[in-house]
Structure 1
Amino acid sequence: MFKDAFEHVLTKTKENIERFDTLFPHVGDGTSYKAIENRDWTNGFWSGILWLCYEYSKNPEYLEAAKTSTESFVRRLEQNIVLDHHDIGFLYSLSTKADWIVTKNENARKVTLQAADVLLKRWRSNGEYIQAWGTERNEVEGGRIIIDCLMNLPLLYWAYEQTGDQKYKYVADAQAEKTRRYLVRGDFSSYHTFHFNQLTGEPIGGSTHQGFTNGSTWSRGQAWGIYGFALLYRQTGNVYYQKLSIEMTNYFLLNMPEDQVAYWDFDAPLTKLSYRDSSASAIAVSGMLELVSTMNSNHPEQSRIKDSAYQIITSLVKNYSTAGIPTAHGLLQHGSYHVRGNLVPDGHVIWGDYFYTEALVRILKGIPGYWYERD
């Protein structure tokens, strides 16, 4: 089943190489993706899919497309098109860092280190956190951190490992602890965002941006926590992060519907029209597979979490894949971007496709993606 599912990934990706050329699939209602230039926070996911398809198949067509896509990230950095956000890790871990990991392209390594320096510019020393969005001292966004940033920290840990420069590790460690303390609640649910006084660093309170309410649990944010803390355990050796990933996994699993694919928010009222977010489940599966890969074979949670991850990916393959829908651009149906903002509440989202691809490649070939160097 999983091998057949990945053959669909390869076929659809080859079609999209021809369809999008030098543009990037982003999000889309119905069966189509909107094609955009390399200026958004989501663009790295397409590059990551191309690199994974090449690693799986060794087909030079995917390598050529991955190289072409990655070269645009080099130009993007040269032109300073990085926007006022923290998602440099999503952009460069899955493009230039992937290039370095797969081909040992020295220029790709150099550019990835430059990208890590760009992320450091979002460090706010007053409160010791990485500001998620907007310019420094922005009245609305100044002082905000978000749980998604956990997935950008691997870029900083990688830069520390490559250079030995403690500044990267210091910032990553501090952001990890801020996230642990302020974005994870006592029951191991999570806030999407948290605010600090940007002048004093004093904590103000949790809020949401894409979830149902400030006090609800946005399922994709919970999935970022599962994966992010699993990666933190690998990169720091702090066993508490592994335990935190386990507990956030437990919360996610306890709130899953019968078909094992999450609704967009765990606390939103359920109706016949309630939106799913297949991307949240794809991220959670990838995070759970990373989590079990960090466990010893005798760890009491390994088998249970692995079985749960396989149940979710099986449901994605059987019930949410676009196999059999030839007009579809994406790999998964029923991803949600921003439900409250009515921005693609039910359609294709490129990050869902990436993490679905990553999970399948890990299952089939043991390839973990591009968040860290491989042994």
Structure 2
Amino acid sequence: MLLDEFAMEPQSNGVKAHDQHDTGISHDVSSTQGSPNALSARVMEALYSESVMAKVWRIAAKAMGNTNPPVLYPEYTGKDGATYVYRSLDFWTSGFFPGSLYLLLERIIRYPHISLSKSADDDPPTRPHKLQLEYLCRWWTVNLHQNALKRDTHDLGFMIAPWAMKSWDLHRDPAAYSSLIMAAHSLASRFSSTTQCLRSWDTCITKRYSFTDPSMDFLFIIDNMLNLDLLFWAAKETENPELYRIALAHARTSRIHHIREDNSTFHVVNLDPETGDVKAKFTNQGYSDESCWARGQAWGILGFMQTFQWTGKIEFLDTAKALADYFIAHLPADGVPYWDLTAPIIETSPRDTSAAMIAACGMLLLYKALKPSCEADRFLREAMNLVDATVGKFVDVPTLHFQSTRPQSQCDVFRDGCVEYSDDAFDTLTVVDRIDLKLRDTIVHGATINNYEFAPRRWANHGLVYADYYFLLFGNMLLELGLVGVADCNIGRL
């Protein structure tokens, strides 16, 4: 294979940065939602308000006073619906919270008109200094580099890429670069030339079935499409055609086995490790084996679009378009997907806002690939509608803001003696809630980790760290695509 076969621009975790052109949101975005200004105000405030940064900062800053960097990472909100439950650093979701921090850092560095948007009273709002946020980004990732050595999981793309790609992109951090390359090779070690795909799970146990012997079963899931971005990136960076070949082969195998004729998706496919033949297709998180788990469908949209960006192969673009059309066609009237797109809907059926955010990011990539065309405008409109509907039902009204507090203390100052603090040199940055409601730790709620009837444990109707991550990523992608102008981001406070 020639190296120029994959000589395309890297599109890590969304779209390539540094490309700012148009300002303002196209009128097509809101043509089905009434007033364009009404749509942009609600969505823009939700995406770029001071409150969003303050909410993430509030969680991250809890680790600042510790003598050692974090080893536990936020995943979902618990029984109270508000407070994060944490998981160990080797859990598959550990990379998303640091990834969110890096997305906010990227906004400060590359889009200063966002970080300096004015408050309602025309005073510049208080913001963390860039170096403070950079410190938190590094503090929250110090212990995550070791995950790059793991060869017992397919989730290296989720664990490493959300923060390490941004660290390399923004700072040319050599440690992040090394971890990305190592993680890619660790992931590639799970490829089978017989099955022509990466093994997702070594084992899988529910109340209905049990797979405990990897020599007998080769399980791969639709989620794994999101880990290919790491392989394609490393292939380009190190001119390694083998990594490219592995990623391309997996995408093609997934396209063959995970996509049904009606363009819905299977969650799990079990292959015979000796022959590559299909043994079974079933679900681990959806309603049934034949239903369409919403987040799995969303993983497919975004994953196949990322693969198209790296390869330029139309088969992946066509697949992503078909999956997106299915997703859109199976949304309820209010526009927020249920946890399973084809499950019977009853009063207690949970939603999954994480599926909405992932799918919206995938649709933005469809817009980028297809513009200028009516089809591109349609996917942009649908992406904005997904976020708008989610914001309307499952994002709290922004109430947080940063406040600079001056300690009531004195210090010795050369020539002047002992004086009261008279400037902001020693001010303390705090987060204040304007309405004093019970705060949720997450930006977005209404997500569902797993509502499968036979799951060992079912979680639904909660906040979820990767719902927040893809919500923030969507905002950065709008900026990178030039779809947001300065005027859109001068959002007032409550």
Normalising by structure 2, what TM-score?
Answer: 0.70
SS of residue matched to 2:84: coil
1:4 aligns with 2:4: no
Residue deviations 1:54-97 (CA, integer Å, cap 9, x gap): 111243322211112222222344xx4x3732010111111222
1:20 deviates by: 5.2
Residue deviations 1:139-173 (CA, integer Å, cap 9, x gap): 27831110001100010001110111111011101
| Correspondence for 1:119 | 187
SS of residue matched to 2:463: strand
Distance 1:226 1:28 in 2: 26
1:106 deviates by: 2.2
Deviates more, 1:142-151 or 1:325-334: 325-334
Normalising by structure 1, what TM-score?
Answer: 0.92
| Correspondence for 2:458 | 343
| Correspondence for 1:359 | 474
| Correspondence for 1:225 | 300
Deviates more, 1:62-71 or 1:179-188: 62-71
Q: Name the one with the larger helix percent.
A: 1
What amino acid does structure 2 have at the position aligned with 1:18? A
Label 1:351 to 1:132 Cα distance change in 2 as closer, same or farther (>3 A).
same
Label 1:135 to 1:164 Cα distance change in 2 as closer, same or farther (>3 A).
farther
Residue 60 (structure 1) aligned to one of 118, 131, 140: 131
| Correspondence for 1:13 | 56
SS of residue matched to 2:154: coil
Residue 28 (structure 1) aligned to one of 49, 52, 77: 77
Preserved contact between residue 147 and residue 159 of structure 2 (Cα < 8 Å) = no
| Correspondence for 2:102 | 51
Residue deviations 1:195-245 (CA, integer Å, cap 9, x gap): 111122112231111111111100000000111111111110001211111
Preserved contact between residue 361 and residue 367 of structure 1 (Cα < 8 Å) = no
1:283 deviates by: 0.5
Residue deviations 1:38-68 (CA, integer Å, cap 9, x gap): 1200011111100001111243322211112
| Correspondence for 2:414 | none
Question: Larger radius of gyration, structure 1 or 2?
Answer: 2
| Correspondence for 1:372 | none
Deviates more, 1:195-204 or 1:359-368: 359-368
| Correspondence for 2:91 | 40
Label 1:223 to 1:143 Cα distance change in 2 as closer, same or farther (>3 A).
same
| Correspondence for 2:17 | none
Label 1:155 to 1:367 Cα distance change in 2 as closer, same or farther (>3 A).
farther
Label 1:257 to 1:143 Cα distance change in 2 as closer, same or farther (>3 A).
same
Distance 2:275 2:260 in 1: 23
Distance 2:188 2:236 in 1: 16
What amino acid does structure 2 have at the position aligned with 1:356? F
Distance 1:180 1:212 in 2: 22
Preserved contact between residue 45 and residue 91 of structure 1 (Cα < 8 Å) = yes
1:195 aligns with 2:307: no
SS of residue matched to 2:141: helix
Deviates more, 1:313-322 or 1:158-167: 313-322
RMSD: 2.0
Matches within 5 A, 1:179-218: 179-218=254-293
| Correspondence for 2:220 | 145
1:303 aligns with 2:418: no
| Correspondence for 2:361 | 286
1:296 deviates by: 3.1
Preserved contact between residue 84 and residue 135 of structure 1 (Cα < 8 Å) = no
1:367 deviates by: 8.7
1:326 deviates by: 4.4
| Correspondence for 2:253 | 178
Residue deviations 1:252-297 (CA, integer Å, cap 9, x gap): 0000011211000012111111000010001000111112112231
Distance 2:195 2:310 in 1: 23
What amino acid does structure 1 have at the position aligned with 2:445? Q
Deviates more, 1:53-62 or 1:133-142: 133-142
Preserved contact between residue 99 and residue 162 of structure 2 (Cα < 8 Å) = yes
| Correspondence for 1:373 | none
1:134 aligns with 2:208: no
Unmatched tracts of structure 1, length 5 or more: 369-375
Preserved contact between residue 202 and residue 218 of structure 2 (Cα < 8 Å) = no
Distance 2:199 2:482 in 1: 32
Preserved contact between residue 354 and residue 470 of structure 2 (Cα < 8 Å) = yes
1:162 aligns with 2:237: yes
1:134 deviates by: 1.4
Distance 1:139 1:76 in 2: 24
What amino acid does structure 1 have at the position aligned with 2:138? K
Figure out how many residues of one structure are paired with residues of the other and give that number: 364
What amino acid does structure 2 have at the position aligned with 1:317? V
Unmatched tracts of structure 2, length 5 or more: 1-40, 65-69, 110-129, 205-210, 400-436, 484-494
| Correspondence for 1:371 | none
What amino acid does structure 1 have at the position aligned with 2:153? H
Distance 2:366 2:158 in 1: 19
What amino acid does structure 1 have at the position aligned with 2:269? F
